[in-house]
Structure 1
Amino acid sequence: MARQRPDWNPELLRKHRGEVGLTLEETGEKLREIAERHGFNIAANFQTIWGHEKGSVYPGPHYRRAYCRLYRRNEAQLGFRKALPGEDSPVAPVLAPASTEQNVLDQPDTVRQALSSIREGTEDVDSEALRSRVIDAWRRRTGGGSVDGPAVILVGGYAGSGKSEFAKFLGGLTGWPILDKDSLTRPLVDQLLVALGGEAHDRSSALYREKVRPLEYRCLMEAAWDNVDCGTSTILDAPFISEFSQAEWMQRFHNRCRSKRVSVATIWVECDPESMREYIEFRGAARDAWKMESWDEYLQGLDLTMRPQGPHFVVDNRLGAAVALVDEARDVLSGGGL
């Protein structure tokens, strides 16, 4: 049964299309250009767009992100959902490609806006210092400059929270390598589970949690130490649920980084259950089958108030708000015009 979306106002899509003077075919062409630029998985034919505007088909996450880039509006302003605090300010649409000079001038402000999603989760961290470090790394990539010692950024969150998108954004800005737990270990984890008598895509059994998961995270962390030992800053992308929950683990990690003169930033990406479910369903990964089949049971096992032990930052990606800012920054940085 389809989920009810009482806050959806599909008429706004047609209204915005009319304001910029696009036909359905032209809209589809521009959406496909945006999809190619951002790696979105959409077909964007005029029948689908018409279904979105008439309210017969609710746009999936990639379609909504593409519409936001096309109309220079956030999801609330396009009628997909209610607004979060601070999302009600209008954004002027831009349909013509901006000049190279204008794009360069806009880039720092857009990067700062996207990084503004990072806020202090505890009083002993400085979000402005972290943003400055990331912006400095981005500027060094484009214009040169001095460099501090290496840094390690841990980006964690529940499945479907948007942590990988945010980690990729930080990696794209800084040029720092991203170690994604699944990409790094999944083939070995799958085969190890089978060899131990389990199922390749199991991520919920005691066998996985007790026998396999510790080795999975050990591989991730050892790869990170190899990087920082070479003076290379690194971004780690993984749920880190158990690790962030343990004050002892966090303290050991900070102590080891301190001994290596490595700075640390722990980022927790928070999200609402409905958005997480939608993204998990959308990606269709085999490892998520149990989550989808037993969503209520899975959700009961999540602590939505969880925060990492010790100093940390929080990115508010409820309703995809932080990822929307990331998309906007990527567009400006790529010089993408509509």
Structure 2
Amino acid sequence: MTTQRRREFGKYLARLRGDLSQRAAAALLCDLSGSSTLTRHEISRWERGDRIPDDWLPFISRAYGVPLPVLERKAAWARGAGASAETVPIDLSPFFPEANALQARIASAMHARAMSTAGTSPVLVLVGGYAGSGKTEFARFLSDLTGWAVLDKDALTRRMTERLLISIGGDPHDRHTDLYRAEVRPHEYRCLLNAAYGNIDTGVSMILAAPFITELHTPGWLERLTHRCQGRGVEIAALWINSDLDTMHEYIETRDAPRDRWKLSHWDEYSSTLTKDPPPGVTATIDNRLGAAVSLADQTRATLRRLLN
């Protein structure tokens, strides 16, 4: 069994090497390690399963772009450690016979994901707030830190919204009339959540950036969504981005989006509908007021620690 595992591990190393020759791989590893002792013959021994390159794993990790913990676990498996679905080398060559580099990247991503999500559930994070509060910026910060995918409602549905409004005789940039609220807005959020469900069903954590004003202020909405997600084995967190009127006005004015023209030209009327208090039941409120003592990036890190602890 151990001999077979060593051979499988050797084949895995050969797939990671991809189009690089054994001689070139040896030269690269020597350059990374500062040692000139490695030859193509030793690479060949690794790939035949004759030897396991324990001391060279950190440099193989750097050379082939594979997380070191992945290589260490797979080397331990080759030496006879207990097997698991995450440690057994996967042969992707039948799917990508002409794309060795892609095979290596997919295998690396697959095993890295298996390790990073071991024992955890996917997470659905809602980032809500009024126009110009900084929702998208915060969502991107969170994504940069976690690697979780971002779905932004405007980016996902804007063209559909504009065409739908035109088709029913409305203004394509309308975001304030009863026509938009009754006939279009529900479809935007349905599309957003359906796209999220499609991802979390495959175990991918998601960040949704949208106002969520009506939803989070509707009694029972967040509880129903939480129960639905828990039934899928998904954790949920709702974050509210708090900002002041001057900051929101400045941001909306700067981005100069057609959908914001009514807000800017009727600012007093629009701003009178905004409330200072966050919706009930949210996981955390992020202070993004002008001159806030803590930067938005630092708050993102603090919020992430709260979500993961």
Partner of 2:292, secondary structure, is helix
Instruction: For residues 300-321 of structure 1, give each alpha carbon's deviation from its aligned partner in whole angstroms, at most 9, with x where no partner exists.
Output: 111122x223242110111163
Aligned AA for 1:203?
A: R
Aligned length: 189
Aligned to 1:164: 136
Gaps of 5+ in 2: 1-110, 302-309
Return the match for 2:168 from 196, 214, 227. 196
Instruction: For residues 89-141 of structure 1, give each alpha carbon's deviation from its aligned partner in whole angstroms, at most 9, with x where no partner exists.
Output: xxxxxxxxxxxxxxxxxxxxxxxxxxxxxxxxxxxxxxxxxxxxxxxxxxx98
Return the match for 1:238 from 204, 210, 213. 210
Aligned-partner Cα distance in 2 for 1:171–1:189: 26
Gaps of 5+ in 1: 1-139, 331-338
Using a 3 Å threshold, how does the CA distance of structure 1 residues 193 and 329 change in structure 2: closer, same or farther?
closer
Aligned-partner Cα distance in 2 for 1:141–1:318: 38
Using a 3 Å threshold, how does the CA distance of structure 1 residues 258 and 197 change in structure 2: closer, same or farther?
same
**Retained in 1: the 8 A contact 2:141–2:300?**
no
Aligned AA for 1:219?
A: C
Relative CO higher for 1 or 2, CA cutoff 8 Å, sep ≥ 6? Answer: 1
Using a 3 Å threshold, how does the CA distance of structure 1 residues 308 and 329 change in structure 2: closer, same or farther?
closer
Return the match for 1:313 from 284, 287, 292. 284
**Retained in 2: the 8 A contact 1:178–1:236?**
yes
Aligned AA for 2:129?
A: G
Q: How far did residue 325 of structure 1 move?
A: 4.2
Using a 3 Å threshold, how does the CA distance of structure 1 residues 247 and 200 change in structure 2: closer, same or farther?
same
Partner of 2:184, secondary structure, is helix
Return the match for 1:255 from 227, 235, 254. 227
C-alpha root-mean-square deviation of aligned residues, in Å? 2.4
Instruction: For residues 6-39 of structure 1, give each alpha carbon's deviation from its aligned partner in whole angstroms, at most 9, with x where no partner exists.
Output: xxxxxxxxxxxxxxxxxxxxxxxxxxxxxxxxxx
Partner of 1:254, secondary structure, is helix
Aligned-partner Cα distance in 2 for 1:141–1:174: 13
Q: How far did residue 327 of structure 1 move?
A: 8.4
Aligned AA for 2:280?
A: Q
Return the match for 2:240 from 265, 268, 273. 268
Q: How far did residue 324 of structure 1 move?
A: 3.6
**Retained in 2: the 8 A contact 1:247–1:310?**
no
Identity of aligned residues (%): 50
**Retained in 1: the 8 A contact 2:126–2:237?**
yes
Say whether residues 1:326 and 2:290 are aligned partners: no
Give structure 1 regions of 4+ aligned residues with deviation exceeding 3 angstroms: 144-147, 320-325, 327-330
**Retained in 2: the 8 A contact 1:159–1:276?**
yes
Partner of 1:247, secondary structure, is coil
Aligned AA for 1:207?
A: L
Return the match for 1:182 from 127, 142, 154. 154
Using a 3 Å threshold, how does the CA distance of structure 1 residues 156 and 329 change in structure 2: closer, same or farther?
closer
What's the TM-score once normalised by structure 1's chain length?
Answer: 0.53
Partner of 1:319, secondary structure, is coil
Aligned AA for 1:321?
A: A
Aligned to 2:195: 223
Aligned AA for 1:317?
A: N
Q: How far did residue 149 of structure 1 move?
A: 1.1
Q: Which has the larger radius of gyration?
A: 2
